[in-house]
Amino acid sequence: MAKNLVIVESPAKAKTINKFLGKNYTVTASMGHIIDLPKSKLGVEVDNNFNPLYVVMADRKKHLSVLKKESKGKEAIYLAADPDREGEAISWHIRNALCEKDKKLKCYRVEFDEITKDAVLSAFKHPRDINMKLVNAQQARRILDRIVGYTLSPLLWKKVSRGLSAGRVQSVAVRLIMDREAEIKAFHPQEYWDIEAELKRKPDSPADKFKAKLDRFKNNKIEIKKKDEADRIVAALKKETYVVGEIKESKKKKNPYPPFTTSKLQQESFNKLRFSGSRTMMIAQGLYEGVDIGKEGSVGLITYMRTDSVKISKDAQADAKKYILEKFGKRYYPDIPNTYKSRKSAQEAHEAIRPTLPLREPESVKQYLTPDQLKIYQLIWTRFVGSQMTPALYSQETVDIKAGDYIFRAGAMRLLFDGYMAVYLDGEDKDKNDDEQKSKLPDLSVGMVLDLLDLLPSQHFTKPPPRYSDASLIKALEELGIGRPSTYAPIIYTITTRDYVRRESGYFHPTELGGIVNELLMKHFPMILDVKFTAKMEDELDGIEEGEIDWLMVLKSFYSPFIHSVEKAKVEMKDVKKEAIATDEICSMCGKPMVIKWGRRGKFLSCSDYPTCKNAKSITSGVKCPTGCGGELLMRKSRRGSFYGCTNYPKCTYIAKKLPGEDAAAPEAEKKEGQA
C-alpha cells in the first residue's frame, strides 16, 4: 500500500502527477474547495473579530469522507493545490480536516508552477508548511466579498427585484461600463478633413506614383474643420508646384512582447480569437493540468495560468535559447537574454505563462489537442519564444513635399530584419508587416519636381470611445488595480449572467436593469463603487500576503463606514418595486389600466389593481414575428444569454439573437479598437 497521499484540485491534474511519483504515492483530487463559508447565511461573526464560520460544503461531504478514509494508515499527506491564495486556503482547510486530530499524520504543502516531472519531483523534495500570510489574504478577500455581497444583495432584492447581486469588484466593473456608455451618449462628433495629393515622378511609370498627406501650413500643424475650408485649400494647392523637400531615413527597432500574464493572455485571446475571458481560462486550465500526448502520456503543456508576473526561470530561458539557435540561428538570439519588468503589484513568486518545453512546437502536439486548445497553446508558445528573440529592424523613410506654404508628408517602412517576428505564423505582426511592405516610395531626391495627378479631400468625424470588450475591460481593470489575475474572468461572467450588461457583437452594452442598480449603488455606496478605493483594497490584500498588513485591521477599517451606509440606505434608498409607470394598455381580465413594473426578469406589464387582479404579461418589442404567425417578438433569457422569441411559443419556435433588420455588426469605432 502507498505510504503517502497527495491531494490536488482536479482529476486531470491527479492523472498527470500520478505517473511522476511512483508506487509510494496515491494521488487524488479534492475537486476544489471542500470547506467554505455557508451559503444560507453571512457566516461571519462580525462582533467576534470577523470569525469565519466555515462548514463542509453540502456537495463535498461525501468527498471529504473519502479523503479521510484514504488518509488512514498513511505516513504523510502532501497538499498540492494550485500555487496561489485559493490553493493555499484549500490546502489549509484540508490539513485542518485531516491532520489536526491525528497528530501522527504529517501534512506538507508542495507547490509547483508547471506540471512536469522535474518540477513535481523538485517540489516533493522541498515541501513546506502552510503559508498563513497567503491564507489570511484569501480569508480577508473572502470575508470582504461575503460582507458586501450578503449585505447589499438582499437590499437590492427588497428595493428592485429578487435574484440580483452586488459585489465589491463586480459593481465597479459595471460602473466602468456605465460610465463609458454615458461618454458615448454625451459625445458630439466633430467634423474634420484630410487632403491627400496623388503624385508621381516625371518619368511616366505606374511604379512612380505615390500619395502624400497634407501635414503643415507655414510649419504649423494644419487642422481643417469644414468643407468650404477644404475646398479653398484644394483650389490654392492646384496652382502650386510640388517639390521634394527634406528626406529623412532612419532605422527603428521593434522589440518583442513580454511573455503572457493572465490579463494579457485573455486580451490577446479576445483580440485574435474572439474568446471570452472565461473560455480562455477554461482552455488554459486544461493545458496546465495535463494533456495526453501519446507515448509521453499526460503532460502539462503550460505553466500556471493565473499570474501577473513576466518573470521566467533560468531553465526556461536556456531551453528557449537552444530552440532559437537551432531553429533560426545566432542572429535571432540576443547577446544578453531578454528580461521584462512586471507591474508594480505583480507577485514575482510565479512565472509568466509559458510552454513547459519550448521545443514542443504546436505542430508536434496538434493531433492531441482540441482546435481551441491548439489555438491557445499556439498563442502562448509563440509569445514566449518570440519574447526571447532579437528585435525586428525597420528602415523608415519620411519625405516632406513643398507646395508653396503647404507641406505634404509621405512615409514608408521597409523590413530589414524580421527578428522575433520570424516565429509568428500569422496575426498582427505579420499583417502589419505585409501592409508596410506595400507602402513603398519611389526613388526621390531633394529638389525634385513632381507631377500632381490629383488632390483628394476626405471628410471625417471624430468617433466616440468604443464600448468595452472582454479585452479592453480586462485591460482597464488591470490598469486601475481592480481585481487580480484569478478574478477577471469571474467578474465578467457574473455581470453578464446577472443581466447588468449584455454582449452584442463582442462589446458590452449596459441593460436598463444594470443602469438602475448602478444608479442606486452610486448614490448610497459611493465608497464601494469608487475605483481608487477598490484599488486600495486590492493593494491592502497584497500587503496581507506579504506580511506587511494585519488582515483583521483591513476588515475593521472597512466594515464600520460600510455598515453605516447600509443602515442609511435601508431607509433612504428608492423602492423601485413600488414604482409603476402608467400605460395606455387595458387589462384583458378586469378592464383596468396596465402599468409597467420591475420584476425578477426585468420590466413587465401588470394590472394596476394588483393584488385583486393578478394579470401580468411580458413587454414585447412591438416587432411582428417574421414567420407570419401573428405573434410578436419579446426578449427572453437563457444560460447562453439573451435572445428574441415569439409570444406564440411553443406553437411558434422562432428565435433570433437580433430583431429583424437590426445591424449585427460592431460600430466602426469598436471594430478598430486597438489591441489591448
Tell me, yes or no, whether 379 and 269 share the same domain: yes
Tell me, yes or no, whether 365 and 300 share the same domain: yes
> According to the model, what pLDDT value does residue 294 have?
85
> According to the model, what pLDDT value does residue 439 have?
63
Q: For residue 316, what is the domain's CATH number?
A: 1.10.290.10
Give catalytic residue positions: 304
> According to the model, what pLDDT value does residue 493 have?
92
Tell me, yes or no, whether 322 and 364 share the same domain: yes
- State the Cα–Cα distance between residues 330 and 164, nearest whole angstrom: 59
> According to the model, what pLDDT value does residue 370 have?
96
The residue out of 446, 461, 476 marking a domain boundary is 461
- State the Cα–Cα distance between residues 13 and 522, nearest whole angstrom: 43
419 burial level (CB within 10 Å; 0-12, 13-18, 19+): buried
Query: Which of 325, 457, 459, 441 lies closest to 388, judged by CA?
Result: 325
**Residues 29/8, Cβ–Cβ less than 8 Å:** yes
Q: What are the residues facing 413 on neighbouring strands?
A: 396
Query: Which of 62, 64, 82, 98 lies closest to 138, judged by CA?
Result: 82
Q: What angle do CA 254, 256, 260 make, to 5 degrees?
A: 145
Q: For residue 486, what is the domain's CATH number?
A: 1.10.460.10
Per-position DSSP letters for 538-601, written without gaps between them: HHHHHHHHTTSS-HHHHHHHHHHHHHHHHHHHHHHS--GGG--EEEEEE-TTT-PEEEEEEETT
Low-confidence stretches of the chain (pLDDT beneath 70): 1, 203-207, 344-349, 425-439, 600-601, 639-641, 661-676
Tell me, yes or no, whether 371 and 398 share the same domain: no
Its domain, for residue 85, covers: 4-130
Tell me, yes or no, whether 644 and 565 share the same domain: no
Q: What are phi and psi of 101, to 5 degrees?
A: -80, -35
Answer yes or no: is 367 within a domain. Answer: yes
Answer yes or no: is 160 within a domain. Answer: yes
**Residues 57/40, Cβ–Cβ less than 8 Å:** no
Number of domains making up the chain = 5
426 burial level (CB within 10 Å; 0-12, 13-18, 19+): exposed
Q: For residue 426, what is the domain's CATH number?
A: 2.70.20.10
Tell me, yes or no, whether 550 and 635 share the same domain: no
- State the Cα–Cα distance between residues 391 and 335, nearest whole angstrom: 12
Answer yes or no: is 26 within a domain. Answer: yes
Answer yes or no: is 326 within a domain. Answer: yes
Question: 223 is written with which cell numbers?
Answer: 487642422
- State the Cα–Cα distance between residues 184 and 508, nearest whole angstrom: 13
**Residues 476/180, Cβ–Cβ less than 8 Å:** no
Tell me, yes or no, whether 452 and 480 share the same domain: no
Answer yes or no: is 670 within a domain. Answer: no
Residue 57, classed as helix, strand or coil, is coil
- State the Cα–Cα distance between residues 25 and 127, nearest whole angstrom: 15
**Residues 464/183, Cβ–Cβ less than 8 Å:** yes
Tell me, yes or no, whether 251 and 397 share the same domain: yes
The residue out of 347, 365, 387 marking a domain boundary is 387
> Considering the entire predicted model, what is its pTM?
0.86
Residues in the chain: 676
Tell me, yes or no, whether 566 and 519 share the same domain: yes
Tell me, yes or no, whether 218 and 148 share the same domain: no
Tell me, yes or no, whether 320 and 229 share the same domain: no
- State the Cα–Cα distance between residues 299 and 13, nearest whole angstrom: 9
Query: Which of 478, 36, 28, 406 lies closest to 233, judged by CA?
Result: 406
Answer yes or no: is 676 within a domain. Answer: no
Tell me, yes or no, whether 643 and 565 share the same domain: no
**Helix intervals (H) in 207-303:** 227-237, 262-273, 277-289
> According to the model, what pLDDT value does residue 344 have?
65
Answer yes or no: is 311 within a domain. Answer: yes
Answer yes or no: is 616 within a domain. Answer: yes
Per-position DSSP letters for 430-455, written without gaps between them: HHHHHHHHH-------TT-EEEEEEE
The residue out of 547, 572, 597 marking a domain boundary is 572
Q: For residue 39, what is the domain's CATH number?
A: 3.40.50.140
